[in-house]
Amino acid sequence: VEPLLRDPSRLAFDHGTILADAVERVRAKLERTTLATSFLREEFTLSDLRGVYEVVWGHPLHPSDFQRGITRTEDFVVETGEMRPSQEPGRPAPLFRARRDGIHPLAVPVPRPQPS
């Protein structure tokens, strides 16, 4: 949707405004709820979760800062104790799952990066 957000004249009527409002609403919901886990499989890595935020927010996130923030948010994810086998050299990634089913508010929001 980024090309359409940059050039809303490509859309008819007020559809550019409608699209921009919808994208902003989803971006805001990622800050305050567990919505991001809905885009992933039941078990996922924190890198998978970070990818959801990066795509929707349109900004890269610092991996270790993201991991620290997510794992400290007590009502968000829980480690499964399993590891994802890696196709690349290095340590396999730990697997997580959503702490609860469905979309729930977070006690501490995930901070959205500010555009520079």
pLDDT in tens, 10-27: 899 999 999 999 999 999
For 31, half-sphere exposure in the C-beta direction (CA atoms, 13 angstrom radius) is: 11
Query: Of 80, 78, 73, 76, which is closest to residue 104 (Cα–Cα)?
Result: 76
What was the pLDDT predicted at 72? Answer: 87
Strand partners, 79: 96
Which region among 24-33, 37-46, 78-87 has the lowest average model confidence (pLDDT)? 78-87
Looking at residue 35, its pLDDT comes to 94
Q: Sorting pLDDT into bands at 50, 70 and 90, what band is 36?
A: very high
Confidence of residue 116 (pLDDT cuts 50, 70, 90): low
The whole model's pTM is what?
0.86
Q: Token digits for 110?
A: 């995930």
Does the pLDDT at position 47 exceed 90? yes
Q: Answer whether 46's CB lies under 8 Å from 52's CB.
A: no
Amino acid type, 112: R
Paired residues of 98 in beta bridges: 77
pLDDT digits (tens, 9 = 90+) for 51-109: 999 999 989 999 999 999 998 888 899 999 999 877 777 788 999 999 888 889 998 88
Number of neighbouring beta carbons within 10 Å of residue 34 = 22
